[in-house]
Amino acid sequence: MTRDAVREQMRLVSEAVGKGCLDRLSPSNAAGLWFVPSVVDSAVLFFLGEGMKEKTAQQVNGYERGLKASLDYAEEEALGGGSFGKYEDEILGSDGWYACYEGDEEDGFGDAVVERYRRLGEDLAPLVASSEDGFWDAALDVYGKERAVETVDRLTGYAETIEPYADGFTLGADLGPWTVDFADEALRALRETENDVRERMVAKADSVY
């Protein structure tokens, strides 16, 4: 089975997304100071950077927990069936974007988050069940290229899940007596990072198929 290979691939994705989001955060953008010289940007980073990074790290941790739930579910499905319901509270309890969502619960954001990870688990289950040893060998074994790319799209599509609800998020970092909301900046960093990871994985799929 490719369980370990799939877990390793998900670890690499989580690591890339986490590092990319932190590296891309711009306190100056969040404060509306995108036009300032670098020395001022450094000052903004000094005052805002740690708070932004701490909250972004919480979001990345939730992202990792969500992937773990998808993988656990995929393993159950590979063995003949599982229930995703038992993972829902864990996912919503650890998801950093869900925690900072202040929109109407009836809008369905929580359901969208859970559905993302459930469907990802279903996508990963055939890979886990494959007799191949490597992640991409398993993908070639169980998927055509179109399905493989669809799985990559779902894996790297959390920003796409979030964006319809973007007006409902509040992520605050303190700057003296003021609080700067950097939800839009955090979403930009996530979107750009996921796009980069997706491009690398699709390029790999192109070479495999």
Residue 138 lies in a domain: no
Residue 134 lies in a domain: no
Residue 12 lies in a domain: yes
Residue 184 lies in a domain: yes
Helices (H), 27-182: 27-30, 38-78, 88-94, 96-99, 109-129, 135-142, 145-155, 158-162
Sequential pLDDT tens for the chain (209 residues): 478 899 999 999 999 999 998 888 777 676 665 555 555 555 655 655 677 778 888 888 899 999 999 999 999 998 887 889 999 999 999 999 999 999 887 889 999 999 999 999 999 999 999 999 899 999 999 999 999 999 999 999 999 999 999 999 988 877 666 777 889 989 999 999 999 999 999 999 999 99
CA distance 124 to 66: 13
pLDDT, tens only, 77-131:
988 878 899 999 999 999 999 999 998 878 899 999 999 999 999 999 999 999 9
Residue 60 lies in a domain: yes
Residue 3 lies in a domain: no
Owning domain of residue 27: 8-72+84-116+143-208
Burial, 161: exposed, middle or buried (Cβ in 10 Å; 0-12, 13-18, 19+)? middle
